[in-house]
Amino acid sequence: MIGRSATSLLVIAGCTLSGGDDTTVSVEPNALGVTKLVVHRSERGGDRRYELRGVDDHDSELASVQLRTGLLGELGGVSGSELAISIGGAETRFLSRETQLFDLSGTTIASSPFLAIPAVASTLEHDANIIVQSQPMPADEPHVLAACSPGDVTSGVTAYQCCLKLTANYLHLMNSSMWPNETIAFRRQRSACTAQNGGPCTGGTCYYGPNGFSRPVFTLPGPGQYARIYADPTGFGNGWLCLAEFVSSDPPIQFTDVAGSFPAGQGCPGGGSGAGEWDL
């Protein structure tokens, strides 16, 4: 393991947007005290924003979800998405080249008290294709933990402290000049160049890319945070889950670093191939 250090949270500067009206959604009783959701949408020059705020009876904000899609400097000025979830003042940020579907299932934030409120989950999925919990995998689905193969990682990239939950989710720690050290990358695995449901697709509209993985979603660390990626023996059928979290001290290394060998810049067949969008 090389080059690990705690880093501060990056901030994307945005412009003031106009347009859009607030709508409200009723909320069932919950432990957070959220009594309603306030939803706001706006768009300007190809920059689209969606915000869902959970407020109490006094309209004080208790939690929020903000999604921005457009050109992102932290992705090298290409199209992508930034998803920021704030609960009780603690913020989690995700960055990705994915702009159509945002699947949070399998991440730590998905089980948070705010996203667990049924009205929150259903509103996010209906309004913004943000999925909090996807359908569970069958109990007999094999969950075998293994080290990552070089073919699972793009050429020119090294995945640090990495592991793979076969047939489902792939996690690894990034160490790249583009990202703060300790950035966690999360991808989903299925057949190469297929839609989110595993069906046919065309070019850049595919959810799973030429290497069989979805576009990576990067979770950025907060100040003084270290990434921990570890195996947990709580999977279906006595299998293992691969989990990730941020901790306050540098954790021991559990998995071997892997240098990638899958060719960079690949796309899927069809118009607008999306070449390179699945690279790390």
For Cα atoms 100, 221, 230, give the angle at the middle one, nearest 5 degrees: 90
Q: Which amino acid is at 143?
A: H
Q: Determine the length of the chain.
A: 280
Whose CA is closest to 87, among 105, 113, 123? 113
pTM confidence score: 0.82
Q: What integer pLDDT is reported at residue 13 of this predicted model?
A: 28
Given a contact cutoff of 8 angstroms between Cβ atoms, the answer to whether 222 and 235 are in contact is no
Provide the residue-wise pLDDT of the chain in tens; the chain has 280 residues. Answer: 223 322 222 222 233 334 557 899 999 999 999 999 999 999 998 899 999 999 999 999 999 999 999 999 888 889 999 999 999 989 999 999 999 999 887 777 888 999 999 999 999 999 999 999 765 555 555 556 667 789 988 998 888 888 776 556 678 887 777 788 889 988 888 899 999 988 999 999 999 999 999 999 999 888 899 988 877 766 555 556 677 888 999 988 878 888 999 999 999 999 899 999 999 7
Domain definitions of the chain by residue range:
23-131, 145-259
